[in-house]
Structure 1
């Protein structure tokens, strides 16, 4: 019986780790019950969430709100100036990381130094690998949402997400930024200091093992612009070089190939390399259930590197194969 109970507990944990976790601020009613301070003296505006508040701790992820500030030991939870169609409250986000700054952040304390208000900064521990999604907006202000992996680079850390947005319609439009988290790694989530706080409405964590993460279909008609490698037939017709001497493996897409040019954006494949002036498009070693070809990607930017890259040529220097690098011009 004892062995059966242990097996059952382990099975329950495995099942729980496949569930999707949705993280939102506590309700105003819960905040009042807990005795949290009213925002600007009235709960109609929101409340202040104390530092070290644990928002979730399950078999997939642990999330703690902590801006490491003794001067501003908490985070404003706003009930006003938000997307009231979908949400009634939001985390107010900001940090010492200024918009457009490329300075590395080595410690949580550095993020809170000099912030204007009690902003939310999160410490996240991924217990299983999965996809983290952040839903936010900020009126007419440009802003950036960051995720910093504090575990890589011998625990010096590195950015794994810097997603910039400029959504002017706060009441209806919301930006979604996603990033993959690695099992056993610790992360910081924070926003840029833009002179105005960012509204973060929801954090969603979906383990890769979850059926909600699994891709079941790919329908290009769902998107205004679908960007895919040219078909093998089109590559042959254009006279592109066969990959490794045989089209069964794929082909080499020449540099300066325009792969999309719509009313929304323009995408050009160009790795800026004269030594490897193209990109391998593979027909093998891919997910053949959904796709029959793939761009092969790579660059001189190593995983875990915090070094900034200022020129396209720097990305292709030293790459092992003809990898795809894209230049994208957003028209909207």
Structure 2
């Protein structure tokens, strides 16, 4: 191990072998850094003159440095010379390649002439073939145009038939829907006689007169007093106005021919003034109901009901508006 370290330590001071590649890097002489900086600063000419004359620095180091510089310069000159030789060889190779390509072109010229002659003959034959093909194509175009006209007429007839079939299918589907869908009617009545200090009771009826069940049925009923001068629309908006929201929606089913009913009372007991207003027709008691549902075909429907109380007969009479079904 000690001998290995000694060999590695003395390796920079060993002389480079002369049999290696001539372009190897010149070995640097063992010169102190301060003296090397001095030599680099003044250059080879000045150092050589100083060595030949009086010289204050180490003469041996100066000679080693001059030798190192000479070897480096010689190496650069060898590399430059080698590159010049390579460039000359490349140029010569390119010239030889150009001459060879020219020779090949001259050899292929006759063959190209023969190919061009054959191509000309083939072009003439192709022109004749194209002329015959053009005549055939024109004849085919005429035939295809006649067939196309016939196809267009057939398509028009088929389109008319398809539209007629679609119209018939739509009519049949609509007729089936109309005849088989659910129809929910709404009616209501009074279940008590108006008295001071008592709430007025009502009964609502929802009947399905269709042939199929009504699905997702949602009903709403309201009643309310309004001035005789107010319209039914205004009274309905007040009756169904903002209230405490219900956190759920109850949905039901009414079978074909089935009926459901619901009962409710007026919001507050009747006062003497309200009863007098009803009797003298200065006020009107309205009853509103609506129902939304879906039929078996997935279509949504709604029925609205509006009636007012006739105090003389204690019955409900239909309003002139707000009674509709869709």
Same fold, TM exceeding 0.5?
no
Select the structure that is richer in strand.
1
TM norm structure 2: 0.18
Larger radius of gyration: 2
Select the structure that is richer in helix.
2
TM norm structure 1: 0.18
